[in-house]
Amino acid sequence: MKQNLLFNPKGNDEVSARTIIKGSTTGLFNLNAVKYPWAKSLYQVMIGNFWVPEKVSGLKDDARSFHTDLSPEEQRAYKGILSFLIFLDSIQTVNLPHFSDYVTSPEVNLILSIQTYQEAIHSQSYATILETVVESKERDEIYYFWRSDKTLLARNEYIGQIYQDFITNSSDANFFRGIVANFLLESIYFYNGFAFFDTLVDNIKMLATGRMIAYIRRDELTHVTIFANLIREIRKEFPEIYDEKVIRDMMKIAVEQEIEWSSHILGEKIPGMNKETTKEYTRWLANNRFAMLNLGPLYPEAIENPYKHLDRLQDPNSDKGNFFETTVVNYTQSSSMSGSWDF
């Protein structure tokens, strides 16, 4: 793999010559000539999803609810899951440009830049939650929970090392593993944490945190789609780099780690969640994500989402769905934007 030149006078920006990686572009963002229409579509969605954490109201109510409504087990899970989410978005914010430097499609570079911005917004969101909900003496403990929790440290080290391997040695194999790691991080690693916050909301607890997480989850779904498309394009254009075994092996590790960590931090005293539902949900989700890659299920027995309340919360026809999602849907400052990138 060769990093893109900042300016390459000998490059060729014609669509017919464009490839997702290993191309030779001038460095100019010629967005009037697009090869990958999915990137154009994602651009419109991602810009339309614009939000900032400071506009989410009600966190002071959550600060009271944290102490009065949450059990000690729920408080521990709330803080531990925030710690993991903070790590994930921190590493994504810093790392995404390393991969974008090897992508040779300006329309894809554009949405990766938007993703980087969104990951930074997510980091600020978690900081806003901690500043408002959690006592100041506990904040460093949450940020650095991995120093004292071996299960969390192992998770952080696994994904961090894959990214570092590519930065240190930008080989084809390390690039592909890094792209797959991005896909797994965005599609698997967040979601038991999200399910915990959604479960609190379903029990009318920590509602502002739930709204914040809903915005973040909406962004993350576009990020999942970006990397699913990157993997599919590599499979099409560079079959010698694509390796289905790597995807399956890494997904198995991701699922096992997600089940271990989620079971560890949630325990057996969170209403509506336990080790069995964690396992069922994570395996079901893995199958769902594999379908995005046009791959068969990794866990054929996992055919149902055990968390029916997640569907209810996201159903605009249900009372709780209206309460939970209306703000998320309506708080889209650019929702009426037709966009200048409209061909």
pLDDT of residue 172: 98
Buried b (16+ CB within 10 A) or exposed e, 171-186: eeebbbbbbbbbbbbb
8 Å CB contact between 175 and 119 = no
Q: What is the pLDDT of residues 175-210, one digit of tens each?
A: 999 999 999 999 999 999 999 999 999 999 999 999
Task: Write the pLDDT tens digit of every residue in 18-28.
Answer: 999 999 999 99
Under-70 pLDDT residues of the chain: 314-343
Average pLDDT over the chain reads 91
* Catalytic annotation, pick one of 43, 126, 215, 281: 126
Domain covering 55-330, topology: Ribonucleotide Reductase, subunit A (1.10.620)
Handedness of CA 48, 52, 58, 64 (dihedral sign): positive
User: Model-level pTM?
Assistant: 0.91
pLDDT for 314:
65
Q: CB-side exposure of 248: number of CA atoms within 13 Å? A: 9
User: What are the pLDDT digits (tens) for 300-333?
Assistant: 999 999 999 887 776 545 444 443 344 443 433 3
In one-letter notation, the amino acid at residue 160 is G
Alpha helices in the chain (DSSP H): 37-48, 59-68, 72-100, 106-133, 136-143, 150-168, 172-184, 191-202, 207-237, 244-266, 275-292, 308-313, 319-330
Contact indicator for 335, 40 with CB cutoff of 8 Å: no
- Domain assignments of the chain as residue spans, ordered by start: 55-330
Other C-beta atoms lying within 10 Å of the C-beta of residue 142: 18
Does residue 126 have an active-site annotation?
yes
